[in-house]
A and B are shown apart, each in its own frame.
Chain A
Amino acid sequence: MMSDPILPSAAPAHAGAAPQEQAVKVRVRDVTVSYDGAMAIDSVNIDIPDKSVMSIIGPSGCGKSTFLRCLNRMNDTISGCSVTGDIRIDEEDVTARNVNPVMLRARVGMVFQEPNPFPKTVFENVAYGPKIHGLAATRAELEDIVETSLRRAGLWDEVKDGLHKPGTSLSGGQQQRLVIARAIAINPEIILMDEPCSALDPIATARIEELIDELRQNYCIVIVTHSMSQAARISQNTAFFDRGKLIETGTTEQIFTNPRDRRTHDYITGRYG
């Protein structure tokens, strides 16, 4: 059964060959998260390599977003949420008390499941990060950063005439790209994306996938997706979560062609349930 051929469409497309051995960027050991005592993810161990894309897949409610939030310690901001375990970025423990989560979050950018632009102009949305971190010395530099970020997120042509319109007045898909632009504007080392393409049409999705592919050259990207084909297209590694447990992780090719666990197999072939 486990050797059942996988849907051909789910085969890795332009992600190219399996990744070369990359240094481990994020090392997750025994991470357990619970909300008000109810366990959401349980003893997760995973290594996320640098300069590559890792997909997190799994059924709804299995803890994908929760896992993502561990990596930039956004779980700290949720009352009742407790995280235990050990997370190292570049071998540095980021769960330690003395690590400044503000510093961490500047290094680890995040795109949320629901687009959440600030109720400010498009320009200010993208400029916010560079401004608070002091990345632009002059207004021209700031404008430059904003334009580049918007271009990379594939939004520039649509908003270049309306930079001073409120970000919240954009369409859902445009908002999604706006928050991506906002996240990459400060050049984070790791980018966490929680279903960034769930509200996008195929063209915009393709653009974001191109962006992710391009960002992979320099960054470590972790993306949650419900689209098997997307995971196959863009990621080099894939992790499958189910009911709070990391079931299986490996190269995308291996997970999609030759999953070791039966649940993985069922899930990616659509027989989960």
Chain B
Amino acid sequence: MQASDLNTPISQNPAFLKRMKQRSRADQRFRYYGLLAIFIALALLVTLLVSITFEARTAFSRHEVSLDLQLTDTDSRSVYRSIRSAVQNMAGDPADRDVRIEMSQLVSRLAAGDITETLQTSGVDLSATYPVRVPVSDEADRYLKGLATPVHRFDGLGFDQEGSRIDSDFSGAIQVIQRWHREQVSTIRHREYQPALRMRDGLARQAEAAPGDRQLAMRLAGAEHRVELIEARLSDFEARINAESLVLDEFTPSVLFRSGEGWMKAVSISGRMIEVEPVISGLDPDRQRGEILVIEQPESQRSIPDAQIVVLERFQTAGRISTHFNGALFSNADSSDAEFAGVLSGLVGSIMIILVTMGLAVPVGIAAAIYLEEFAPRNRWTSFVQVNINNLAAIPSIVFGLLGAAIFVNGVIIPIPFVDGVFRLGGGLGRGWPLVGGIVLALMTLPTIIIASRAALGAVPGSVRQAALAMGATRLQTVNHHVLPMAAPGILTGSIIGLAQAIGETAPLLLIGMVAFVAEMPQGATDRATALPVLIFQWSTRAERAWEPMTSAAIIILLLVMLVLNGLAVLMRLRYEK
């Protein structure tokens, strides 16, 4: 009771002192929570950025091969034929049709297009060889970047050849092959054998509990069969780990042997001996230097065949392979070949879309916000409008896509009663036009801009309006001269947030028909186009592995675009605040 004595000075009041301590502790705790939250957010962001950049790193460079073309004509068909024969020549002009086709796949048909263009503008002497540099196929590129398969290289010094047998020190290769088999055994054990065992045992228990169930019995039999199959494979692999000699085929690592200009491929290996079949003739005559390549990934599990690897290695030793910045990524439109694909068409599409969106959503949004905040009377009707604007902001973007497709592209078809006819409302705009995308995204962005702008306008103190009005300014002058400049930073930020959201939107664009593969640059807002996020979506669904880093690279470019946009907003904000 003494504690609450009114005569105790507050600094000696124990209740106050206790409370004070609690309060400062709560303060401290809150600071730590805040720091922790910021730290977690930053860590997530950094992880995201680092992993995307890491994923994308290989997309920013590409390997190109220098070829000396023997041109017969300057049209793209003949140019491509010359490219093919230059590559096949490097492969020792194989007779086998399949191998020839494999060779021609090392360089994309699209490479001929670029060359033809320069040829036709600059002209060329057909009798001389024409040096060109063309990008290798995406799979070859992945191989050269070391992404397609691990490759182990050993020296084959002092080898001996006897018919189709080569005698040298293959211990390194054998080690790699044995390790690979051991890894296979452990993978099969963990990924296949154990789950299969669990499945079988579970079924067996169930079957025991319900002896009459025929279906269960059949499933059990199936599971048992599966276990047996895996066991057979396992024992096969296990036997091969320590086998004296091994047959090498497309299900085992490949062993390639090189000497001089010649290349051969091992079909079996045992101790110091490999049995080979020639790939390219021309063995080193003094039999001193050889090289052993172990391609760890079996041929059946990778997209680049041994024959292509051999040619790439030959180009490599001939100094004809070089690494370059992948300019195509920035200067090309989309393409079905990863090595020629670029984001430019998507970037241009996105810019056109965002210009349309900006042109519609920003003025309309700001005007609506000004009207609602500064001019409209406060009544039930305006509060109804306001509630519905907030509702609009919560509508999933895909719905706007549906709406856009229905209204702008297809039109709403209304049957006219009693007459055998229909009335089409709207429609007429093309599928996949940036114009349509822009309109749809503008509708989506509008509520964001209105809400942000209203908040910014509402934050302007009323005394400013009063001052201007009392000076005899009209309401419009009050808004234009005083309220808008003060609200501009907030309005700007809101608009930019809305636009940044729009630029990353994918679903509505897909729905208005931006799904098709568009390999041309869009010529205008009323041309079929693609957009950056759509491109990212499409690339991420393409099967070849080369599209993975490309997708990440496109994501980085999209992030950069947003960064630039946000940077602009900050700059404009700073200028306004001065």
- A contacts, CB < 8 Å to B: 72, 74, 77, 79, 102-103, 105-106, 109-110, 112, 114, 116-119, 128-129, 132-133, 179, 182-183, 186
B169-177, B215-223, B467-475, B563-571 - interface stretch: B467-475
Please indicate the chain A residues that have their CB under 8 angstroms from the CB of B377 in the complex.
79
- Starting from the known contacts A79-B377, A128-B473, A129-B471, 16 additional A-B residue pairs (CB-CB under 8 Å) come to A72-B470, A74-B466, A79-B378, A102-B472, A105-B471, A106-B472, A109-B471, A112-B467, A114-B463, A116-B466, A118-B464, A118-B467, A118-B468, A128-B471, A128-B481, A133-B472
Please indicate the chain B residues that have their CB under 8 angstroms from the CB of A128 in the complex.
468, 471, 473, 481
Q: Per a CB cutoff under 8 Å, which of A72, A102, A103, A116 touches B467? A: A116
- Known contacts A79-B378, A118-B482, A128-B481; decide if A179 and B467 are in contact (CB<8 Å): yes
- Determine if B186 is an interface residue (Cβ-Cβ < 8 Å): no
- Sorted nearest first, the 10 A-B pairs with minimum C-beta distance are A106-B472, A116-B463, A105-B472, A110-B470, A116-B467, A129-B471, A102-B474, A132-B473, A102-B472, A77-B469
The distance in angstroms between the C-alpha atoms of A74 and B478, with both chains bound, is 14
**What is the chain A residue whose CB lies nearest that of B460?**
A119
Q: List 10 A-B contacts (CB under 8 A).
A: A77-B465, A79-B377, A105-B472, A116-B463, A116-B466, A118-B468, A132-B471, A132-B477, A182-B471, A183-B470
Please indicate the chain A residues that have their CB under 8 angstroms from the CB of B465 in the complex.
77
Tell me, rounded to whole Å, the shortest Cβ–Cβ distance linking B438 to chain A: 36
Q: Per a CB cutoff under 8 Å, which of A109, A117, A133 touches B470? A: A109
Please indicate the chain A residues that have their CB under 8 angstroms from the CB of B471 in the complex.
105-106, 109, 128-129, 132, 182-183, 186
The distance in angstroms between the C-alpha atoms of A119 and B378, with both chains bound, is 27
- Known contacts A118-B468, A118-B482, A128-B481; decide if A102 and B473 are in contact (CB<8 Å): yes
Please indicate the chain B residues that have their CB under 8 angstroms from the CB of A132 in the complex.
471-473, 477, 481
Main secondary structure of the interface of A (DSSP, over half): helix
Interface size on B, residues (CB 8 A): 18
Q: Are A186 and B463 in contact (CB under 8 A)?
A: no
- B contacts, CB < 8 Å to A: 377-378, 463-474, 477, 481-482, 486
Please indicate the chain B residues that have their CB under 8 angstroms from the CB of A109 in the complex.
470-471
Q: Are B472 and A112 in contact (CB under 8 A)?
A: no
Q: Are B477 and A119 in contact (CB under 8 A)?
A: no
The distance in angstroms between the C-alpha atoms of A195 and B474, with both chains bound, is 26
Tell me, rounded to whole Å, the shortest Cβ–Cβ distance linking B92 to chain A: 81
Tell me, rounded to whole Å, the shortest Cβ–Cβ distance linking A134 to chain B: 11
In the complex, which of the residues B463, B468, B471, B486 has the most CB atoms of chain A within 10 Å of its own CB atom?
B471
Tell me, rounded to whole Å, the shortest Cβ–Cβ distance linking B459 to chain A: 13
- Known contacts A79-B378, A118-B482; decide if A105 and B463 are in contact (CB<8 Å): no
Tell me, rounded to whole Å, the shortest Cβ–Cβ distance linking B416 to chain A: 48
Q: Per a CB cutoff under 8 Å, which of B464, B470, B486 touches A105? A: B470
In the complex, which of the residues B469, B470, B474, B486 has the most CB atoms of chain A within 10 Å of its own CB atom?
B470
